[in-house]
Structure 1
């Protein structure tokens, strides 16, 4: 693990008046870059060949022929593969880059390399990123248990399935995505698993390590929080929920029509393809803040220095208005692009100006520079 002291040594050579905010060109990079520009930082996106035009052309900072300013991404570095970012870390350091980790960065670079080889200051907790892997002994489920937080009850053996469960495992081909499926009995579990293996959606190897948990029937809310090490306070910035393919297509069909689908269409996939904004009934907000407080305290105790900056608690709410945390993002969430430029509802009212997750990250970095407290926000 790269120690915090090593990163602080790197920072000693940085020009604090010319910090550049960087990110992998995927996931929530547009929100990160937009927020950075709002707070006066230059932006750098590391992209992959074949996926670079969004950043290198369509949102690139440029001047129109009548001298209007358009776009917000200052520089794009294009690599053959995202994972090659390890090879350009010296260049990133020379440019005074503070890097904002998102899920794509961790998946494409690899957790081990992020922890041990990427010697660039990260905004956030470097070691906490590993907790997102469900296969890890000290995963976010372990952390939730230590914090006394509610999560869906696990089913250890598929033969014990006696009510509706969701089976969580990665997609066989799209490793960033999910190969989730539901079942209400062991027989249904095996039948669906065999079909999904046949169609290349999941693998038998991943299935043996899958997380099986009781399905919570109710709406889902992703709570986009921010913990400020400078103020030692938690902020709720916004709430989002997901559009998932092909699940959302299935639920728009009448049950009778669903039964006519071909075998390769029958089981919906849970690939996230977009997000929408939401709010929550105010009488429930106290419960949500309590969950966030307990998560932050547990992370501080078991993953020192704990949460720095954005994190997302992904929840389902049952008929009795009980929350169950089914996933945790210990970094910027995947749904924050819906708040670019206009900000999050709760973040806006708290700060009395448009406050997206990307802008809140940039604001914390800006404050840390001005207060000479950068060591509090990077690892």
Structure 2
């Protein structure tokens, strides 16, 4: 079997993925939109770049990229028709690609987190049922864009009615927990049969995190601008790791053969150190991008530079060496 190329699309965490692939000795291929190729080329980590007008053109490139393994990230959930990706795309995708469907549907997300035994915020079926502060989230991965909060049912109904088409738009109404948001990332290895605690980030969310927001905005937005690192107190890290392992066990039952590769649990820790898990991402998240060349935890585990991009490539390399690629790509 010929050693595969590593391929992704130019967005989200592409630099992380490609650098890691090169560190592990893979040839790299990037599919990017016109006007962005010079940015990616400037880093010297792309052996080949294919320019497209729209990312959906990847379906027409399958023969050209057939020798590759695709590494999905958040933009796959945001930009692709997942039915087409599951049924019309034959190039191997790293990880369990069925997880992308569960990630894009907020009802299925909640089902999976409940199955894992994670504590999740209360959810409301109807705006009239709301009796506490809530956050409203739409389906898909859009970096928090379009989320909004309401203090009670009256305010929520008013906001829904003031937004064209909002009443019919798929969404979830979720209790807003008071506490500190944390975003721990993990890597589940099929080859090594373990779930690795990789690192933790927090997100900087446009005007909701701006000091001017108090004065200038009555309705803050949650569009993610960037991420910054966090190291947990170790007693809390122990609990977080356990929840990551519980989540993997649940994916094995509900989305067989289960999740493999990178994932993130999105949590809020209240004043009593209770952990509420309000979201998950079943693939690499942008919050791992500043952990290049390594996170504190990945360095402790590996004793070498190990970014998430490199960890993905290491898993592929290990699987290739023992002829188990079919167990980690679908």
TM-score by length of 2: 0.95
Q: Specify the alignment match of 2:219 in structure 1.
A: 267
Partner residue, 1:241: 202
**1:127-166 mapped onto 2 (5 Å cutoff):** 127-135=98-106, 139-166=108-135
> Within the alignment, does 1:97 sit opposite 2:97 as a pair?
no
Shift of 1:212: 0.8
Q: Distance in 1 between matches of 2:69 and 2:213?
A: 49
Distance 1:51 1:204 in 2: 36
Measured in 1, the distance between the counterparts of 2:34 and 2:167 equals 32
Partner of 2:285: 333
Distance 1:254 1:211 in 2: 25
Residue pair 1:170, 1:178 contacting (<8 A) in 2 also: no
State the shift of 1:190 in Å. Answer: 2.7
1:84 aligned residue: 57
CA drift of 1:114 comes to 1.2
Structural mapping, 1:1-379, within 5 Å: 15-16=2-3, 19-56=4-41, 58-59=42-43, 61=44, 72-93=45-66, 96-135=67-106, 139-169=108-138, 177-195=144-162, 197=163, 203-206=166-169, 209-249=170-210, 252-253=211-212, 255=214, 258=215, 261=216, 265-340=217-292, 342-379=293-330
CA contact (8 A) 2:133 2:176 kept: yes
Does the 8 Å CA contact 2:146/2:222 hold for their aligned counterparts? yes
Unaligned runs of 5+ in 2: none
SS at match of 1:76: strand
The farther-off stretch of 156-165 and 275-284 is 156-165
| Deviation at residue 175 of structure 1 after TM alignment | 5.5
Number of equivalences? 330
In the TM superposition, what is the alpha-carbon distance from 1:360 to its structure 2 partner?
0.2
Q: CA deviation at 1:81?
A: 0.4
SS of the residue aligned with 1:40? coil
* Distance verdict in 2 for CA 1:292–1:254, change over 3 Å: closer
Shift of 1:143: 0.8
Do the aligned residues in 1 keep the contact of 2:105 with 2:139 (CA within 8 Å)?
no
The 1-side partners of 2:199 and 2:69 are apart by 24
Shift of 1:84: 0.8
CA distance in 2, matches of 1:310, 1:175: 19
**1: CA distance, partners of 2:46 / 2:174:** 42
Query: Mean Cα displacement is larger for which, 265-274 or 47-56?
Result: 47-56
Please say if residues 170 and 176 of structure 1, whose CA atoms lie closer than 8 Å, have aligned partners that are also in contact: no
**1:180/1:269 contact within 8 Å kept:** yes
Gaps of 5+ in 1: 1-13, 62-71
1:305 Cα shift?
1.1
1:35-65 deviation digits (Å, cap 9, x = unpaired): 1111111111111123333213x22x2xxxx
Cα pair 1:237 1:355 within 8 Å, conserved? no
Whole-angstrom CA distance in 2 between matches of 1:50 and 1:184 = 43
TM-score w.r.t. the length of structure 1 is: 0.83
Distance in 2, Cα, partners of 1:175 & 1:371: 37
- What is the Cα deviation at residue 77 of structure 1? 0.6
Q: What's the RMSD between the two structures over aligned residues?
A: 1.9
- How far residue 193 of structure 1 moved from its aligned partner, in angstroms, is 3.3
**Separation in 2 of the partners of 1:193 and 1:22?**
41
